[in-house]
Each structure stands twice: as C-alpha cells, then as structure tokens.
Amino acid sequence: MKKLTIAKNTKYIADKCSIDSLLTLLKEQKFKTVGPTVRDETIIYDELDSISDLPIGITDVHEAGSYRLKERNDKALFGYNVGPFSFKKYLFPPRLTILKTKRVDGKITIIKENDSVDKLALLGVKPCELQAILIQDKIFIEGEYIDNYYKEQRDNLLIVTTNCTEAGNSCFCTSTQSGPEAKSGFDIAITELIDDNGHNFLIEAGTKNGLTFLKKLPLSEPSDNDIETAVKKIKSASENMGRKLETKNLKELLLDNLNHPHWEDIAKRCLSCGNCTMVCPTCFCSNIEDVTSLTGEDNERIRTWDSCFSMEYSYIHGGTVRASIKSRYRQWMTHKLASWQEQFNTLGCVGCGRCIVWCPVGIDITEETKSLQEQVTAQAEQLAQAEN
Amino acid sequence: MPLNTARKPKLAVWKFASCDGCQLSLLDCEDALLAIADSIQIASFPEATRAVIRGPYEISLVEGSITSAHDAERIHKIRRLSKTLITIGACATSGGIQALKNFKDVNEFINIVYANPDYISSLQNSTPISDHVKVDFELRGCPINKNALVEVCNAYLNRRKPNIPTYSVCMECKRRGNICVMVSKGIPCLGPVTHAGCDAICPAYNRGCYSCFGPSEDPNIKSLSGQFEKTGMSKEELIRIYRGINANSEEFKNESIFHEQK
Ligand code: SF4
Ligand code: SF4
Ligand code: SF4
Ligand code: SF4
C-alpha cells in the first residue's frame, strides 16, 4: 500500500476507530476532551472518555419551545444538531471568580487566582458554533480590552468541527452564512458519511496543530465518490434548513422601525425570562459582584452571565432605562441582528436556533423578523397606493 | 466589656405567623454568625434564646405574616424601635401559605377546626408586613437562602446595596446547567415569572418551579398562563398553580382570581 502523505486542508478518510484514536491521542497529550453526550434526555456537552460516550444513533427534534430526542435508523456519532448549551460555557463560564483579596491588619492584599486552565479539546463543534466562537473572539480578545481567562483558554484550545449533513427544524445557518460546512477556524474538521459503502468520516486538518494529530491517525485516501457524497449531503442540508432569516436590509428594517407596534405584540408574549440570551452562543453580557465576608477580611470578585432581559442590567442612577418588556425584547433583537453589525462588523446571530427552541413560550426570532418585514412592506405599499 | 457591648449594633429577630424555618436558616449560618458575634449584638432571637435586650435596634429581621389584631399592633412597635426593618421569607413578604385562607371565609374554617371557636381571634386575611409598616428590604424565599441573609445583613451593616438579583429563576437555571423541564419534558414551571434566589433547585431535580420566592421583578404571568393552557392545563390546575406559598402576592393573587372568575 502506498504511504499517504498527510497535508493541511486536504481531505482523508477515517473510520470510527480513527475517531476513537483521535480521542485517545488528545488525552495522551493532556487535553481535556469535551463533546456531545446524552444526559437527562438531552444532548449536552461534557467530558468524553471514548466515542461510546457520544450520542450514537440519536438525534434531536426541535420546535419553537420544545426539544425531544429520537432514535435514528443508523449509528451516526454526530447525527444531531444543537442542544441547550453551546461551548460558550468553556471560554466564558457562567460564573467565574476573577479576584480574591484578603485584609490583614488593615492592609488588603490580592491573592493571585490560580487561573491556569486545562488544555481543552472541543469535539463536535458544529459550524454555527465555530462561527460563534470566532465572533466571541472579536469581543473578548480582538478588541481593545482583553479578557484574560478567555484568552488563556482560547490559547489552549483545539477545535474539532463536525460539518452538518442534515439541518434541524430550527436551524438557519445558511441565512447567517455560518454553516452547514465550516470553511475555516477549525483545527480539524470532520464530515460523517454513512451509506452503502459503510460508516466513514472525511477528515481534514485546518491548522498545524490539527495536522500533528492527523498524522498519527490511521487514514486512507478518499474516493471521488466519497468527496461527492459529502458535497451532496452538505448541499442538501443547506437547502433543507428548517428556518430562514432574510438578512438583506435587516439592520435598516429593525433600526428604522423602533416604534413599530409589532414590538408591543411580542411584549405580550415575552416573559423577559432571559433564556434566549443564556442559550445564545454569542451573547456575552456579564455582571460583576463583589462578595465580602461579614468581617470584611475575605473578599471575592465574581463574574456571572447577565442578560439585557433583567431590569438591573440597564439600571443607572435613578432607575431602569429599559423598564418595559417591549424595550428589553427590542434591545435583544436589535442587538443580535442590527447594532451588532455596527459594533463587530458581523451579525450577532449564527442561526443555531437555540433561542427559538429554549424559549418557554416559543418566540421565534426568524418569525418575528418576517412578521415585521411583511408589516413594514405592506404599510409602505399602502402608503404608495394612497399617494397615487 | 460593658462599654464595648453598648457600642455594638443590635440585631433583633421577630416572629409573627410562620413556621420558624427562616429563623432556622439564620441559626444555620453558624460560621457566619460566629464571625459577626464580635461585631454585633443579638438582641432578640426567639429560636436561639429567650432573652431580649431593649431597643432601639440597628437591624430588625421580621419573620411571619400578620394574622391577628395583636400582631398588627406589635409590628408597629417593632418598626418604631428599628432603624432598618428587613422582612424575611414568604410569610413576611407575601402572607405565606396561610394566606390561602384569604380566598375563603375564615370563620368557616375556625368553626370546623376548633372545638371552642370563641377562643380564636384571627383576622380574615394573612398579610405581609409591608401592608402594615414601611419595610426597608424584603428577602424572599420559603425558606430564605442563608447566604442571601448573610449578604443582606452584611450590606446593611456596611451601608451598601445588597447583591440580591430580582430577575427570573430561569437565569439561575441556565447558569447552573439545568435542562429546562418546560422545553424538554413539557412540565409546567413557574421559573420564568419567579424571583431568583433558590439557584433553580427544583428544575435541577426534574420538577417545575413552585415559586417559593414569589413573582420576579416584572412577571408576564398572562403569557405563561397561556402557554400552560396550550399544553393542556385545566382551569382548576391553573388556579392551583398560583395558589401556593405566595398565593397572596399581588400578581399571583390577581391571576388565580382571574381564572376562578372565568
Ligand atoms: S440569536 Fe438565537 S439563533 Fe441566533 S445565534 Fe443566538 S441563539 Fe442562535
Ligand atoms: S442581546 Fe442582550 S445579553 Fe445578548 S449580548 Fe446583546 S445586550 Fe448582551
Ligand atoms: S424571548 Fe422567550 S426566552 Fe427570551 S426572554 Fe422572552 S420569553 Fe424568555
Ligand atoms: S426549567 Fe423552569 S426555571 Fe428552568 S429554564 Fe425552564 S422554565 Fe426556566
């Protein structure tokens, strides 16, 4: 057999054993490996020991406000879309102690936090999630102020992306151009192929780091058919998105209609519970609290996820700026889809659909956008007719 | 050290109609209590000691609701003697589970339950302390969370704002990594309209939230009821879900009455 030379940005064929070997190799290299696994009838991300921890033969069924698991009729390892939690929690933890101080004899000393992070490998990062990480990079490390914890973990991160060959009912990554295939930003990318030829994976290294691992795996050369099948499957996923978001003139649509009655209509349904911001892989807001012991000797500064749906979020001297649910929902949606573009030169939404699925009353960001779009268009047409 | 004792701020705990559970949370603060024993003087604490030191008090913690004419007077005395008055627990902040009687004729109960109804003097309604006197801070929960209690006392003693979030339980639920029981299992949950503070303990054990902490800062109860109805909840169930530990809180009371009269 001809010896394969493994190069970057080139696709090879791996089988299930090679994927398992990849996990073993990562562990040998002292990586904490996290990825999808079933817990409580849900696919969440947690530590993986071997590929048997993956949600083998299981998929997720999404509706607005509803999530259920279902058995597949194959043994796919990555045959699901997205669960409630994104990988955000690893780089931007829900609760983080950022400082500890101690007061001795009236003098306050900062106890340096032992913040050293684990080497972390994320397995099964869907393209939309990868895009979300790239967006959070802009926020936490590419701007003027750098988040130390995020940076340290990001520098010790290996990303194994799995491209989507089926789209979920709440997915719209085609609209946000974040999937179903990852173009860059990964260390390793995998596309799962299950057909008459068996159960294989197209695998590719995107970075030098990824390449060193690929070189140690048992791989073979893909046939033209393998490559074609992958292209077809990804294309089919792209054409079968459960949802769609019209992004053309989106910023103008939202920012020009801040007083549209549709916001009131949403406010009647929105609970202002904050679930959508908690599950969104790009939302980055946090609150910082100083916690002091009663004696004032031991103090901690703690950062927790916050949300623009809380009243305190916009509290300034004298009161809350966004006192109504209407203004809070509007903040969320206009930030994600409009002002984010001004702030970070990209949409704040990667089309993962989590905010739709995990909203207890099933408010759908794509439906609300469409409804506003239709109402505004209809009103413009009426106006034009009246003028004629 | 009598001189020193005199200068220590006095903290008093008062009990009205309640189960004492919230006071026990305070006793449960062992380490923290010991730590402050040096800097404050516990002037009254029925669950811990019978001794009462005379006021005025820097901080009064009030547990329980007002259910008798005698208590309605007593709370005014306590208010006059207290620089800061903090109510603790669902009884004190909304009327508690005993406020279920507010929805019925109390004399009927009294006649059924007591052999000699004449000896019973009880008001028709169980009401929160804030219906009677000015309250400086309300700490929610049934029971209260002991760390939150330490935080509130700490904040008042150090003249800063307590870090007690008023948003929904859902925020804590997601931060804790719970899987939403409404979305993943269709279990009704009051979390979206309930004040945070319990760290979403019920959803962590696969149950819906019962709202031990009462309504959140700006609850959209109508919308949640609509969702419950969609998932098949009956009128009786809807009335019952809001008639729990915080049945007498304004928002829950209005909602349960609305469904009753529908
Ligand atoms: S806004 Fe919704 S669909 Fe978009 S990235 Fe956030 S959670 Fe996903
Ligand atoms: S949508 Fe709200 S929570 Fe999310 S990033 Fe924007 S302001 Fe923050
Ligand atoms: S849109 Fe849904 S998830 Fe978001 S705050 Fe409103 S009710 Fe909660
Ligand atoms: S389980 Fe209840 S508290 Fe938790 S997110 Fe769902 S609705 Fe909110």
**Residue B35 in this model has a pLDDT that exceeds 80:** no
Q: How confident is the model over B230-247, as a mean pLDDT? A: 97
Residue A15: how many other CB atoms lie within 10 Å: 16
Q: What is the mean pLDDT of residues B225-241?
A: 96
B154, B179, B219 ranked by CB distance to A42: nearest? B179
Q: Does B207 touch chain A (CB under 8 A)?
A: no
Q: Whose CA is nearest to atom 1 of ligand 1?
A: A349
**Does the Cβ of A335 fall within 6 Å of ligand 2?**
yes
Helix, strand, coil distribution of chain B in percent, nearest 5? 45, 15, 40
| Contact criterion met (CB below 8 Å) for A34 and A120 | yes
| pLDDT bracket for residue B4 (50, 70, 90) | very low
B183 with A358: Cβ contact below 8 A: yes
Q: Which of B175, B176, B178, B194 to mutate to test the pocket of ligand 4 (most atoms within 8 A of CB)?
A: B178
Transcribe B72-129 into DSSP letters: HHHHHHHHHHEEEEEEEHHHHHH--GGGGGGGS-HHHHHHHH-S-GGG----SS-B-G
A360 → closest Cβ in B151, B158, B183? B183
Instruction: Confirm or reject: Cβ of A25 under 6 Å from ligand 2.
Output: no
Cβ–Cβ contact A302 with B under 8 A: no
Q: Which of A189, A119, A183 is nearest to A154 (CA)?
A: A119
**Is A309 near ligand 3, meaning CB less than 6 Å away?**
yes
Comparing A16-25, A56-65, A189-198, B83-92, the range with the smallest average pLDDT is A189-198
Tell me whether residues A295 and B192 touch, CB distance under 8 A.
Answer: no
Q: Which helix (H) or strand (E) holds A229?
A: helix A224-239
Minimum-distance ligand to the CA of B205? 4
Strand partners, A47: A34
pTM, 2 dp: 0.95
Contact: A274, B171; criterion CB under 8 Å? yes
**Chain B residues within 8 A of A290 when measuring between CB atoms:** 163
- The pLDDT tens digits of the residues spanning A214-259 come to 999 999 999 999 999 999 999 999 999 999 999 999 999 999 999 9
Residue A308 Cβ contacting ligand 2 at under 6 Å: yes
Q: Which atom of ligand 3 is nearest to the CA of A274?
A: 5
- From chain A residues 249-288, the ones with a CB under 8 A of any chain B CB are 268-275, 278-279
Q: Quick: pLDDT tens for A361-384.
A: 999 999 999 999 999 999 999 999
Interchain contact, B192 vs A65, CB within 8 Å: no
- Inter-chain CB proximity B153 and A294 less than 8 Å: yes
Instruction: For residue A328, report the distance from its CA to the centre of ligand 2, in Å.
Output: 10
Please tell me the number of the ligand nearest to residue B192's CA: 4
Mutate to test the interface with A, among B11, B183, B218 (most CBs of A within 10 A): B183
Chain segment B96-116, per-residue pLDDT in tens: 999 999 999 988 888 888 888
Tell me the pLDDT band of A172, cut-offs 50, 70 and 90: very high
The residues with which B256 forms a beta bridge, in sequence order, are none
* A42 has a chain B CB within 8 A of its CB: yes
Q: Please, what's the b/e burial string for B116-143 (b: 16 or more CB within 10 A of its CB; e: otherwise)?
A: eeeeeebbebbbbbebbbebebbbbbbb
Atom 1 in ligand 2: which residue has the minimum CA distance? Answer: A332
CA–CA distances in Å: residue A28 to residues A31, A116, A117: 7, 19, 17
Mutate to test the pocket of ligand 3, among A263, A266, A276 (most ligand atoms within 8 A of CB): A276
Q: pLDDT tens digits for A284-307?
A: 999 999 888 877 788 899 999 999
pLDDT band at B162 (very low <50, low <70, confident <90, very high): very high
What pLDDT score was predicted for residue B51? 74
* Residue B3: per-residue pLDDT: 39
Task: State residue A2's pLDDT score.
Answer: 60
Closest CA relative to residue A60, chosen from B184, B207, B208: B184
Handedness of CA A30, A31, A37, A39 (dihedral sign): positive
User: Which two tokens mark A103?
Assistant: 């007061």
Q: What φ, ψ does residue B88 adopt, rounded to 5°? A: -125, 130
The residue-averaged pLDDT of A82-106 equals 93
Residue to substitute from B149, B157, B174, interface A, most A β-carbons within 10 A? B174
Q: Residue A114 has what pLDDT?
A: 61
Partner-chain contact B186 A291, CB within 8 Å: no
* pLDDT > 70 in chain A, percent: 99
Which of A89-103, A339-353, B151-165 has the weakest average pLDDT? B151-165
CB B62 within 8 A of CB B78: yes
Contacts of B153 in chain A (CB under 8 A): 294
pLDDT band at B2 (very low <50, low <70, confident <90, very high): very low
**Which band of pLDDT confidence, cut at 50, 70 and 90, is reported for residue B154?**
confident
For atom 5 of ligand 2, the residue with the nearest CA is A283
Task: Report how far apart, in Å, the C-alpha atoms of A25 and of each of A4, A158, B82 are.
Answer: 19, 13, 66
> Closest by alpha carbon to B145, among B92, B97, B199?
B199
Out of A40, A272, A310, closest to residue B179 by CB: A40
Pairs of residues, one from chain A and one from chain B, whose beta carbons lie less than 8 Å apart: 133
Q: What is the mean pLDDT of chain A?
A: 95
Q: Is A159 helix (H, G, I), strand (E, B) or coil?
A: strand
Instruction: Answer yes or no: is the C-beta of A273 below 6 A from any ligand 3 atom.
Output: yes
pLDDT of residue B133: 98
Instruction: With CB atoms and an 8 Å threshold, state whether B220 touches A325.
Output: yes
Q: Compare all CA atoms of chain B with the CA of A45 and give the residue at the minimum distance.
A: B177
- Which residues on B lie below 8 Å from A310 (Cβ)? 165-167, 171, 217
Q: Which of A272, A292, A357 lies closest to B154 in CB terms?
A: A292
- Phi first, then psi: give them for residue A7, nearest 5 degrees: -125, 165
Closest partner residue to B174 (CB to CB) among A270, A275, A290 is A275
Longest dimension (CA), chain A: 82
Chain B residues touching A275 at Cβ < 8 A? 170, 174, 180, 192
Q: Please identify, by atom number, the ligand 1 atom nearest to the C-alpha of residue A279.
A: 7
- Average predicted confidence (pLDDT) for chain B: 92
Within an 8 Å CB–CB cutoff, is residue B69 touching chain A?
no
